[in-house]
Amino acid sequence: METNTNEKQTAIDAVKELLDTHFNDAEDCADDDGKFSLGFRVTFDRSHSPTKLKVTCRVSKVTTDEIECCVDDPAQAKLPL
C-alpha cells in the first residue's frame, strides 16, 4: 500500500511540475474565446524495480473551422438560365 501511495505522490509531483512549466505556453495558444488545454498521461511501468514512471504533458489549442456549401445532385438536370 505504501508503494502505491509513493507512486501516486511522485506522479502528482511530476504533473504539477509540468503544469508549472507549460501553463504560460498553453495560455499563449488560447483561441479567440480563451480556450486551451493541457492533457497529462501518467504511465507506471512495474516490470522494473523500482517502478519507472513517465508523465507526459500535451498542450493543445482548440480550433474550430467550418465550411458550408451545396452539392448539386448529379441526377438532376441543370436548368438553363
What mean pLDDT is predicted for residues 45-56?
91
Domain presence at residue 40 = yes
Higher-pLDDT residue of 61 and 23 is 23
Does residue 80 lie in a domain region?
Answer: no
Give the chain's length.
81
* Secondary structure of the chain in HEC code, one letter for each residue: CHHHHHHHHHHHHHHHHHHHHHHHHHHHCCCCCCCEEEEEEEEEECCCCCCEEEEEEEEEECCCCCCCCCCCCCCCCCCCC
pLDDT at 8 over 70: yes
**Confidence class for position 66, pLDDT limits 50, 70, 90:** confident
Higher pLDDT, residue 49 or 12: 12
The number of distinct structural domains making up the chain is 1
Residue 79 lies in a domain: no
26 in a domain, yes or no? Answer: yes
Amino acid letter at 33?
D
CB 26 within 8 A of CB 57: no
Residue 16 lies inside a defined structural domain of this protein: yes
Q: Is the pLDDT of residue 11 over 90?
A: yes
* Residue carrying the nine cell digits 511501468: 45
pTM metric for this prediction: 0.69
Stretch 3-17: mean pLDDT = 92
Q: What is the pLDDT of residue 62?
A: 66
